[in-house]
Amino acid sequence: MLGNGMIQGLLVTARNLLRSYFDPECLTTIQYPEERRTLPENSRCFPFLVYDGTPDNLRCVACKICEQECPPQCIYIEVERDAKTGKPVRRPRVFDIDYSVCMQCQICAEVCPFDAIKMDQIYELSGTDRFGGMLMNKGALLKSNEYYHQMHPTEANEVDARLSQSKKKASPPAAKPAAAPITLQSAPPPRPTPSAPPSPSVPPTPPVPPKSDV
């Protein structure tokens, strides 16, 4: 019958419309922004940097792997250097991500060997400044590990377990307690050998006179 599929589609729409007055699950729209849907755990948006405890304890060591692997080249990193010696320090002095160029591919999070960069779920970043407002520096990218657990609890628990195992392997083994010194016991003095009793004195034998031939 011509138009049978269209009629069936209209019936489904009418059925859902009537049920939506009684069953909230049939509502196809929500009153955004007053109402917001809970995002699934594996949803992702723009990347951020993870720190443990305080912002000074940043996981990133400025290895620049994410900067090299980023397809749109929206990550820029400068290594921090010691003020006295000028030697590089294992943390970034500059870490910028241009969100206006980022394509949310998650490659930076996948290639990071230190689990220092992860994907956020915040998508409401619209503003009037298209370029400067979307350029995020290190201060704007830093977020705590507790925040990471709120966004991706399952993944964050796996990362914490993996990091704790790597720290245990890297830590030096505990020193064994020093063995007690061996004291040499002096040998007991030799027992005195009992002397033999003195033999009785034998009187000397008197000389025998020689025999005469007379």
Classify residue 193: in a domain, yes or no.
Answer: no
Q: Are 139 and 147 in contact (CB under 8 A)?
A: no
Residue owning tokens 């394509």: 103
Classify residue 150: in a domain, yes or no.
Answer: yes
Classify residue 179: in a domain, yes or no.
Answer: no
For residues 120 and 140, what is the distance between their CA atoms, to the nearest angstrom? 13
Classify residue 10: in a domain, yes or no.
Answer: no
Residues 6+ apart with CB under 8 A from 151: 41, 118, 120, 121
* Number of separate helices (H) and strands (E) present in the chain: 6, 6
CATH number at residue 72: 3.30.70.3270
Classify residue 22: in a domain, yes or no.
Answer: no
Per-residue pLDDT at 139: 94
For residues 10 and 1, what is the distance between their CA atoms, to the nearest angstrom? 15
Per-residue pLDDT at 127: 81
Burial code (b: 16+ CB inside 10 Å, e: under 16) for 149-184 equals eebbeebbeebeeeeeeeeeeeeeeeeeeeeeeeee
- Within 50-186, residue ranges assigned H as helices are 65-69, 107-111, 138-141, 145-151, 153-170
Per-residue pLDDT at 182: 66
Contacts of 82-86 spanning 24+ positions with Cβ under 8 A: none
For residues 62 and 162, what is the distance between their CA atoms, to the nearest angstrom? 20
Per-residue pLDDT at 20: 82
Regions of the chain with pLDDT less than 50 = 214
Classify residue 121: in a domain, yes or no.
Answer: yes
Per-residue pLDDT at 27: 75
Which phi and psi (to 5°) does residue 179 adopt? -70, 145
What dihedral angle (degrees, nearest 10) is formed by the CA atoms of 80, 82, 83, 84?
-160
pLDDT in tens, 173-197: 666 666 666 666 666 666 766 665 6
Q: Which domain holds residue 132?
A: 42-165
Domain count of the chain? 1
CA-wise closest residue to 27 among 7, 18, 36: 18
The model's pTM is 0.67
Q: Are 89 and 79 in contact (CB under 8 A)?
A: yes
Classify residue 97: in a domain, yes or no.
Answer: yes
Question: Which tokens belong to 173?
Answer: 């083994």
For residues 172 and 117, what is the distance between their CA atoms, to the nearest angstrom? 28
Classify residue 145: in a domain, yes or no.
Answer: yes
